[in-house]
Amino acid sequence: MARTESSARPGEAAAPAVTSIAAIDRFRVKDSFRRISASPQFAMEYLYARLFARNPGLRSLFPHSMEQTRANTYRMLSGLIGALDDPDAVDRLLDGLGQDHRKFGVREGHYPAFFDALLATAAQVSGSAWTAEVREAWRAVLGYFAGRMTAAAEADGQTQPAWWIGEIVQHDQRTETVAVLTIRPDKQLRYQPGQYVSLQVPNWPRTWRKYSIANAPRENGLIDLHVRAVPGGMVSSALVSHCGTGDAVTLSAARGDLRVPADADRDIVCVAGGTGLAPVKALVEAIVGETRQGKRRSITLYAGARHGSDLYDMRDLATLRLAYPALTLVPVTEFGAGAGAQQGRLPDIVARHPSFRDTEVYVAGPAGLISATVRALASRVPADRIHHDPLDLLRVSAKNA
């Protein structure tokens, strides 16, 4: 990889407006990006070094440690460049990024600086392969990215704030490593069951972590989060062991596409591993609430953990089952059978479910569990009836906890 100083000039990324990704020379951009992929660590270090050197005021928008930010940026760029042949997918990704970046304090004027640094990075790693045609292709695609993200952020800003201040009104320590937090946002926080929020604690400013909301919307606006502290997890450890009633946190807008459609009528099988129970519980609560409109579907909830002592929410689930007899609760432990629990690997137990006829399957938990469950059900359940959050999002969330 050539590492000569880039000849990219400030403002080069501000290409003329492009109204469709299909009008861009995507082949040149994708071919050029392979050079970034050859040494992503160097490329991302160069990108942020150049960004902060030329725009030192932007450093305050980022966390103290940049390691994970650089990794997340490369993952984001890989997804966008890899999807260039699917304009609808690119637009969905850009819209989500534009909306989500509001919580960081990103404004329209920040985009040119970042994309100029990215253009310079592409030039730097390309060496002699950086031609006028490649530069123009990059300028066009980055101009489109900036325009789409800016429009999405502006539209999102018309309907909801960039963040909420939440007060912890209850901190329930369920196990040594798991706590259930009940939080009161300072303003109404709209969400659909199955979605997640990003959260920041005062101990670690500008460090955000994703947690699924564990309840269907309530009239009082309170939300529950299930948090497991992981070794080295700055935010999760703070939430489980160092936060209490009355403490404040910062919340982002709800995101995510794991949800049960309002017009769905098939039976439901839910598979939850560990604190993956949170979004599944919210989905089940929402379905139970639909009984007021005369809808009643059979629900089977497989709740898995490594040991019986890790099944932290059984009392609440039992109460939910009493309120909804069509709910069947199947606790599963991998090592040692707990009271009333089946023993074995959760995907194997789920694969023995009697029938998946006219059934939708919702899976939540670690990325490895979801992959294993999808493989175990592949011969019995059509792929479009198995629902889960994107696996790359889950891997990043687990690593960052």
DSSP string covering 66-80:
-HHHHHHHHHHHHHH
pLDDT single digits (tens) 262-315:
667 889 999 999 999 999 999 999 988 876 556 678 999 999 999 998 999 999
* Mean predicted confidence (pLDDT) in 31-57: 96
Given strand 178-185, what is the order of strands in its sheet? 209-212, 196-200, 248-251, 164-173, 178-185, 223-228
What pLDDT does residue 399 have? 53
Minimum mean pLDDT range among 32-36, 110-114, 150-154, 258-262: 258-262
Percent with pLDDT over 90 in the chain: 78
What pLDDT does residue 18 have? 60
- What is the token pair recorded at 284? 């089940």
pLDDT single digits (tens) 206-247:
999 999 999 999 999 999 999 999 988 999 999 999 999 999
What pLDDT does residue 125 have? 95
pLDDT single digits (tens) 320-348:
999 899 999 999 999 876 668 899 999 99
**pLDDT-based confidence at 22, cuts 50/70/90?**
confident
Sign of the Cα pseudo-torsion (241, 245, 250, 251, in order): positive
In this structure, the number of other CB atoms found within 10 A of the CB of residue 7 comes to 11
pLDDT at 186 over 70: yes
Question: CA-based angle 73:396:201, to the nearest 5?
Answer: 90
Q: Quote the CA–CA distance of 75 and 228 in Å, as a whole number.
A: 25
Q: Quote the CA–CA distance of 12 and 130 in Å, as a whole number.
A: 14
pLDDT at 43 over 70: yes
**pLDDT-based confidence at 5, cuts 50/70/90?**
very low
What residues contact 116, with CB distance under 8 A and at least 6 apart? 8, 10, 11, 12, 13, 54
Going by C-alpha positions, the residue among 189, 204, 203 that lies closest to residue 251 is 189
Would you give the DSSP letter of residue 276? G
Q: Quote the CA–CA distance of 166 and 184 in Å, as a whole number.
A: 5
Minimum mean pLDDT range among 50-54, 123-127, 138-142, 334-338: 334-338
Percent with pLDDT over 70 in the chain: 90
pLDDT at 195 over 80: yes
What pLDDT does residue 65 have? 86
When the pLDDT of each residue in the chain is averaged and rounded to a whole number, the result is 90
Going by C-alpha positions, the residue among 29, 251, 244 that lies closest to residue 140 is 29
**What residue type is assigned to position 342 of the chain?**
Q
pLDDT at 179 over 70: yes
pLDDT single digits (tens) 157-166:
999 999 999 9
Q: Quote the CA–CA distance of 65 and 174 in Å, as a whole number.
A: 31
3-state class (DSSP) for residue 152: helix
pTM: 0.86
* Mean predicted confidence (pLDDT) in 61-73: 91
pLDDT single digits (tens) 68-108:
899 999 999 999 999 999 999 999 999 999 999 999 999 88
Paired residues of 300 in beta bridges: 269, 328
Q: Quote the CA–CA distance of 47 and 278 in Å, as a whole number.
A: 37
pLDDT at 396 over 90: no
The domains found in the chain, sorted by start residue, are 21-157 (1.10.490.10), 164-251 (2.40.30.10), 267-400 (3.40.50.80)
Name the residue with higher pLDDT: 361 or 18: 361
* Mean predicted confidence (pLDDT) in 117-146: 95
**pLDDT-based confidence at 261, cuts 50/70/90?**
confident
The position carrying tokens 């029938």 is 355
Phi, psi of 19 (to 5 degrees): -90, -10
* Mean predicted confidence (pLDDT) in 119-127: 96
Q: Quote the CA–CA distance of 38 and 123 in Å, as a whole number.
A: 14
* Mean predicted confidence (pLDDT) in 105-119: 93
What residues contact 186, with CB distance under 8 A and at least 6 apart? 164, 165, 166, 167
Contact indicator for 122, 33 with CB cutoff of 8 Å: yes
